[in-house]
Chain A
């Protein structure tokens, strides 16, 4: 890890081959889908000028497709087309369809009726009128539609990285998860430049005079095909086992980088969003994935965690972190929060997560059921002796913990509680705490060490093998730097983990990451 602040330029130079590949993939994705959208959209647009009664349905449907949020559309594609290139292209093409169909329709219906009548009266047949009169005259409008579609596609293609189709989204979303501004910019700036560049080039095409547009319209397909061929399938496919890692995992020392340097494990992973990664593993699209050891989907999808025998994943023990002034203001708070100390093991947390994530029970119900089983559930005292503000990050486990703490405080003290759940990522949540917007939230030791303190790599190496040392270190540093106190750990360790389908792991007798490495090497 670099200890001095790396500049964007250094980052881009260091990652130049990745950047180039992602850019080419991005351009390729954009234009493959664009070509298909033109091939479908242009005839469709022409057809509805002939069958006006269908124009409403066709344009309406294309309009509705446009309004589906991109992530949701990609999500719909997975059961149908799996992950990777195919669903990404289909999703992009659906977005590109509306501007192309609509502009073809508008362009052709907008051709001067006198001109069409003259063409007809001179004895041209309907195909001659289409190709010699209507399409050439509608071409500026059609090109404007293609231009809009291109710019939309350049933007939406960043999301393709969610489903392992590559593109500049890998940097963008990796950077967001890693709180690495350089990485975000290294993806976002080229994406923006691509959008501007293509928009500019197509605008030039659009304003060519009517005669030159004929040559332009002829060269356009050639150009599109060349650009589309930029895409080559991300290099994951072909190995014995297919691995898919989240963008965050890809860029972390305690993630793929550590796997490569400490284990010498080279799995050529594809990059994929954690929202679809578990399911993809379950559906055998992927064999090895990166995940969290307490994730509820582990249970839902019959996945097992591979043992980290060389200890590269630092411990992520969860504990509430609280502002010290809040502890002074609410004297009973510390005692109450510590009621949960040591009560939730990995398997219990995993089960609780399974209930919210997979059985879709509310966090409140899951929290109440858990407390009841531990005989900790008490009726609310409806206290009015001040309000404790509890925050949480935006995933199920944190919601459950926030609910549990709410019930504990209401049942055991005279304080009232207000919750601010769903506070984006670590940065947002911690900033809220540090700026006295909330009093406490559950945090993980590893996150404190790496993301918040951004400790130097030497320190990290020295600490990660031992969970207590890590805890002591972050507790000390937080107190010193932020006047924030780490209370007693809750018990579970939500660390990074490599996981596989249980059945496959057994079959190949892979239990540890070292086993995985041996298996891969023996077969290569």
Chain B
């Protein structure tokens, strides 16, 4: 889907991005993770040509992005910014309509699409006439997301999209973000410096430092097979929580007891162990029914945690 080859960006003598290459598959969520100044935002902005690279090339769907005018390219790529970048002099509706207007959609099509998005993003139609400054930070960010998604672009770039939100709002939006089926059809590249967020939202994490990629892989790869000491120390804090988030129930499926039980499924094994544990807490349940493929097992919280530790030990010995 997106292929980056030997991409470099130099600002004077500073090599902000230094010859990086990576690939993002269709519908994959790639997180560019790193400290400030590691080159992650520069990398992201080169994909929609907000920044022109010093050298290297980028392909989307096999086509070189420098073969098209930047305006046309950008209209096909959703972009979400940390400070939402909503036009303060436009209403919510007008803000969302910007791209359809640039693409010359007719108003019926636009209206229909907006109505659809509002529902998915839990925004009310009353808010369409409001100005951005009349909305809460979380609502503004949802509008920013709606604006990026309205023309249904296959690619979505997000620059620290939740960075300006408080913790409570952020975890709520994280949950919605993961649940949004609209996003399941998108190829997403997201920049963040928040390790927790990266592990929660990413299929794949690209850890950068000083303009280079240190390691790229699944969250579990980074945790259990760190490429070097830098990766290890970067993830050292909150390591336990990260591991709970990086490991999915299906990864430890074989380690769970086989006790079958009747009744409907409560959870799907695709979710992380962390989310499973949260479910136990929120439902105050002793046992939950977890489905993996055709199989459903009834599992207790302790059994889940025991299985997780067994898995962890196994990884360590590998």
A contact set with B: CB distance below 8 Å: 112, 114-115, 117-125, 128, 132-133, 136-137, 210-211, 213-214
Q: B89 and A137: CB pair below 8 A?
A: yes
Query: Is there contact, CB below 8 Å, between B86 and A118?
Result: yes
Q: Are B102 and A124 within 8 A (Cβ)?
A: yes
**A117 CA / B79 CA spacing, docked (Å):** 10
Nearest to A120 among chain B residues (CB) is B50
Residues of B within 8 A of A124 (CB): 71, 98, 102
Q: Verify if B131 is at the interface (C-beta below 8 Å from A).
A: yes
One of A114, A133, A210 near B81 (C-beta < 8 A): A114
Closest to A111 in B: B88
Find out whether the CB atom of B89 lies under 8 angstroms from the CB atom of A210: yes
CA distance A119 to B87 in the complex (A): 8
Partner of A118, one of B77, B81, B89, B91: B81
Chain A residues contacting B83 (CB-CB under 8 Å) are 112, 114
Interface residues of B in 59-98 (CB under 8 A from A): 70-75, 77, 79, 81-89, 91, 98
A119–B157 Cα distance when bound, in Å, is: 14
| Chain A residues with CB under 8 A of B147 | 122
- In the bound assembly, the distance between CA atoms of A210 and B131 in angstroms comes to 10
Cβ of A133: which chain B residues have Cβ within 8 Å of it? 87
CB-CB < 8 A to B157: which residues of A?
Answer: 121
A123 touches B89 (CB 8 A): no
Does B99 reach chain A (CB closer than 8 Å)?
Answer: yes
In this complex, what residue of A is CB-closest to B95?
A: A118
Contact between chains at A114 and B102 (CB < 8 Å): no
Task: Note all chain B residues with C-beta closer than 8 A to A137.
Answer: 87-89
**Contacts A115-B85, A117-B81, A137-B89 given; does A122 touch B75 at CB 8 Å:** yes
B88:A210 contact, CB within 8 angstroms: yes
Known: A121-B85, A123-B72. 19 other contacts (CB 8 A): A114-B81, A115-B85, A115-B88, A117-B81, A118-B79, A118-B84, A118-B85, A119-B85, A120-B50, A120-B74, A121-B81, A122-B75, A124-B71, A128-B102, A132-B87, A136-B89, A137-B88, A137-B89, A210-B89
Q: How far is the CA of A125 from the CA of B88 in the complex (A)?
A: 19
Residues of A within 8 A of B89 (CB): 136-137, 210-211, 213-214
Nearest B residue to A211, CB-CB: B89
Chain A binding surface, main DSSP class: helix
- The distance in angstroms between the C-alpha atoms of A210 and B91, with both chains bound, is 10
Q: Complex Cα distance A285/B153, Å?
A: 70
In the bound assembly, the distance between CA atoms of A210 and B75 in angstroms comes to 26
Indicate if B296 sits at the interface (CB-CB under 8 A). Answer: no
- Kindly list chain A residues whose C-beta atoms are within 8 Å of the C-beta of B72: 123
Highest count of chain B CB atoms <10 Å: which of A119, A122, A211, A214: A122
Does B8 touch A at the CB level, under 8 Å? no
Give 1 or 0 for each of B133-147: 1 = CB within 8 Å of chain A CB: 000000000000001
Q: How far is the CB of B160 from chain A (nearest CB, A)?
A: 11
> Chain A residues with Cβ under 8 A from B79's Cβ?
118, 121-122
- Which residue from chain A places its CB closest to the CB of B82 in the assembled complex? A114
Asked whether B50 lies within 8 Å of A122 as measured between CB atoms, the reply is: no
Chain A nearest Cβ from B215, distance in angstroms: 28
B192 at the interface (CB under 8 A from A): no
Give Cα A214 to B84, complex, Å: 23
**Once the chains bind, are B71 and A123 in contact (CB under 8 Å)?**
yes
Q: Check B48 for interface membership: any CB of A closer than 8 A.
A: yes
**B residues at A contact (CB < 8 Å):** 48, 50, 70-75, 77, 79, 81-89, 91, 98-99, 102, 131, 147, 157
Q: Find chain A residues with CB under 8 A from B77 CB.
A: 121
CA–CA, A137 to B132, complex, Å?
A: 14
A407 to chain B, nearest CB (A): 73
Partner of A121, one of B74, B82, B86, B91: B74
Task: Give the distance to chain A from B142, nearest Cβ to Cβ, in Å.
Answer: 15
A123 to B74, Cβ gap below 8 A? yes
Q: Are A122 and B81 in contact (CB under 8 A)?
A: no
Chain B nearest CB: distance from A369 CB in Å?
71
Q: Whole-angstrom distance from the CB of A122 to the nearest CB of chain B?
A: 5
Residues of B within 8 A of A112 (CB): 83, 85, 88
CB neighbours (8 Å) of B131 from chain A are: 210-211
Give the chain A neighbours of B98 by CB distance below 8 A.
119, 122, 124
Chain A residue with Cβ nearest B157: A121
CB distance from B41 to the nearest CB of A (A): 11
- Inter-chain CA distance A132–B88, complex, in Å, is 11
Residues of B within 8 A of A125 (CB): 71
A213 to B89, CA, bound (A): 9
- Quick check: B85 and A114 within 8 Å, CB to CB? yes
Q: How far is the CB of B37 from chain A (nearest CB, A)?
A: 18
7 A–B contacts from the bound complex (CB under 8 Å): A112-B83, A114-B84, A115-B86, A119-B87, A122-B79, A123-B73, A211-B91
A213 contacts across to B, CB distance below 8 A: 89
**A133, closest chain B residue (CB):** B87
Closest CB in chain B relative to A103 CB, distance in Å: 18
A56→B157 CA distance, assembly (Å): 37
- A212–B89 alpha-carbon span in the complex (Å): 10
Q: For the complex, what is the distance from the CA of A211 to the CA of B94, rounded to whole Å?
A: 11
When distances are taken between beta carbons in the complex, the residues of chain B under 8 Å from A118 are 79, 81, 84-87
Decide: A122 and B84 in contact? CB cutoff 8 A: no
Kindly provide the distance from the CB of B18 to the nearest chain A CB, expressed in whole angstroms: 24
Choose from B84, B85, B87, B102 the contact partner of A123 (Cβ within 8 Å).
B102
Min distance, Cβ B58 to any Cβ of chain A, angstroms: 15
CA separation between A298 and B50, bound complex, in Å? 71
Q: Which of A117, A121, A125, A211 has the most CB of B within 10 A?
A: A121
Chain A contacts of B85 at CB under 8 A?
112, 114-115, 117-119, 121
Bound together, the chains give a CA A308 to CA B23 distance in angstroms of 100
Determine how close the nearest CB of chain A comes to the CB of B292; give it in whole angstroms.
Answer: 40
Interface-centre pick from A115, A128, A132, A213 (highest chain B CB count, 10 A): A115
What residue of chain A has the Cβ atom nearest to residue B94's Cβ? A211
Which 7 A-B pairs give the minimum distances between C-beta atoms? A118-B85, A123-B75, A121-B79, A123-B74, A210-B89, A114-B85, A114-B83
How many angstroms from the CA of A119 to the CA of B99 in the assembled complex? 10
- Tell me which of B50, B75, B87 has the highest count of chain A C-beta atoms within 10 A of its own C-beta: B87
Alpha-carbon separation in the docked complex, A121 to B157 (Å): 10
The CA-CA distance from A117 to B81 in the complex, in Å, is 9
Cross-chain contact B99 with A122 (CB below 8 angstroms) = yes
- Please, which residues of chain B bring their CB within 8 A of the CB of A120? 50, 74
A316 CA to B72 CA, complexed, in Å: 83
**Which of B83, B86, B89 counts the most A-chain CB atoms under 10 A from its CB?**
B89
CB distance from B318 to the nearest CB of A (A): 43
